[in-house]
Amino acid sequence: MRIQRMELHNFRNYELQVLDFSDGINVLIGGNAQGKTNLLEAIYVLALARSHRTSNEKELIKWGQQTAQIRARVVKKVGSVPLELDLGQKGKKARINHLEQAKLSSYIGNLNVILFAPEDLSIVKGSPQVRRRFMDMEFGQMSNRYLTNLTQYRKILKQRNRYLRNLHNHVSKDKVYLDVLSDQLSAYGAEVIFERVSLLKKLEGFAQKVHKEISQGKEELEFQYKSSVPKDRFKSVDVIYQNLRQQYASIQEKEILRSTSLLGPHRDDLKFVINKKEVASFGSQGQQRTTALSMKLAEIDLMKEQTGEYPVLLLDDVLSELDSYRQTHLLLAIQNKVQTFITTTSLSDVQQELLKNPKIFRIDNGKVSVE
Ligand SMILES: Nc1ncnc2c1ncn2[C@@H]1O[C@H](COP(=O)(O)OP(=O)(O)OP(=O)(O)O)[C@@H](O)[C@H]1O
Ligand SMILES: [Mg+2]
């Protein structure tokens, strides 16, 4: 899929901007703080109805304005579809084909994007939260079932934590209701874990291939899903559910004492292993970067397999963070395949050689001009 045309109204430092993109490589060049990341963010927000940079959506609206709009025409195999997202002081509205969507979960997934930013290079070493977020954002885009179960899980988790607090403070006494919430949390949690494990297995297959290539056949990359549920229980949703049920029953008192849910997918993690050694503890910086790059490239293939279309790729400042060997690998892998947006303050000679017919946009203080 690709974005043909995008219009921004009062989004971040853009007042009114219409952009016609190339199906191939789009390079956004400009100095610091001119609006390069803001433009990628607009694409990301249009796809996922939330920002990767802030949870306070009012920040996305141009200072001094009340509303912002992002509109785009997205071209897919089945035809082209207009997507629109309005951001206001009280929330957002999403429209597909000019029809407002009551649920964001029916909107998300119409435009698939993969964002690769310098922070992603630290996915291996970063906090578990970064890796959970990665799984949730990627899998939520490619599987509506995942997104729906995750949304329900989060809702019940909030309710359950609130209720644990009430039990702790003796505001409530009824443990039967806690049991109801534990049961629901186990049910949705089991769905989330099962789907994470199965999508990770597929992602691992693609990532292994890429990683092997970049490491010239020397390295075997593996992903391991780390959960309070033992991995021999990953067989089916029901087996995971039974296990979570049991565990919640056995730690009930501790959870009341701590006023929070101590296990479930919101506490799980993802580990990377190269040649049987954990990358976070034993991997060199180069190996960590190769792992991150392999994973991003694998996402492109997985997205294609799951949805039938290649996603749109957003590369924010990553080229300058990769050495020329890895840059070459990345750029060759996406060539003639994926619509790509690259931000940079300047293009190096290596990049200029590798980027075939890019469309170049100059960004200056929230204004875009085509070269
Ligand atoms: N809501 C807003 N309204 C108006 N301007 C904003 C808003 N939010 C951010 N900005 C402006 O956008 C600028 C940042 O733009 P952006 O992050 O896109 O920079 P960039 O071109 O990616 O720079 P760098 O090369 O440093 O990454 C901020 O310095 C700020 O002036
Ligand atoms: Mg930036």
Q: What is the mean pLDDT of the chain?
A: 95
CB within 8 Å of 308: residues ≥ 6 apart: 77
Query: Rounded to the nearest 5°, which phi and psi values hold at 365?
Result: 50, 50
Cα(286) to ligand 2 centroid in Å equals: 23
Cα(14) to ligand 1 centroid in Å equals: 10
Pocket flag, ligand 1, residue 318 (CB < 6 Å): no
Q: What is the layout of strands, in order, in the sheet containing 359-364?
A: 113-116, 312-316, 340-344, 25-29, 359-364, 367-370
Residue entry with tokens 């199965």: 198
Q: What is the pLDDT of residue 199?
A: 97
Cα(170) to ligand 1 centroid in Å equals: 48
| Residue nearest to ligand 1 atom 19, measured at CA | 33
User: For residue 45, how many C-alpha atoms fall within 13 Å in the half-sphere facing its CB?
Assistant: 30
DSSP code at position 264 = S
Q: What is the pLDDT of residue 356?
A: 80
Which atom from ligand 1 is nearest to the alpha carbon of 40?
A: 18
Smallest-distance ligand from the CA of 56: 1
Pocket flag, ligand 1, residue 10 (CB < 6 Å): no
Cα(343) to ligand 2 centroid in Å equals: 7
Pick the CATH number of 1-112+310-371 from 2.60.120.10, 3.40.718.10, 3.30.420.40, 3.40.50.300: 3.40.50.300
Cα(107) to ligand 1 centroid in Å equals: 27
Q: Which residue among 11, 14, 37 is best mutated to probe the pocket of ligand 1, counting the most ligand atoms within 8 A of its Cβ? A: 37
Domain layout of the chain by residue ranges: 1-112+310-371
Q: What is the pLDDT of residue 316?
A: 95
Residue count (the chain)? 371
Distance CA 255, CA 277 (A): 34
Pocket flag, ligand 1, residue 37 (CB < 6 Å): yes
Q: Is 269 helix (H, G, I), strand (E, B) or coil?
A: strand
How confident is the model over 257-294, as pLDDT tens digits? 999 999 999 999 999 999 999 999 999 988 999 999 99
Q: What is the pLDDT of residue 335?
A: 87
Cα(43) to ligand 1 centroid in Å equals: 15
Q: Which residue among 9, 38, 40, 70 is best mutated to probe the pocket of ligand 1, counting the most ligand atoms within 8 A of its Cβ? A: 38
Cα(223) to ligand 2 centroid in Å equals: 30
How confident is the model over 314-324, as pLDDT tens digits? 999 988 888 88
State both tokens at 332.
Answer: 């060759």
Pocket flag, ligand 1, residue 62 (CB < 6 Å): yes
How confident is the model over 210-225, as pLDDT tens digits? 999 999 999 999 999 9
Strand partners, 2: 75
Q: Which residues of the chain have pLDDT under 50?
A: none
* Nearest alpha-carbon partner for 134 in 190, 59, 52: 52
Pocket flag, ligand 1, residue 52 (CB < 6 Å): no
| Residue nearest to ligand 1 atom 9, measured at CA | 12
Q: Is 160 helix (H, G, I), strand (E, B) or coil?
A: helix
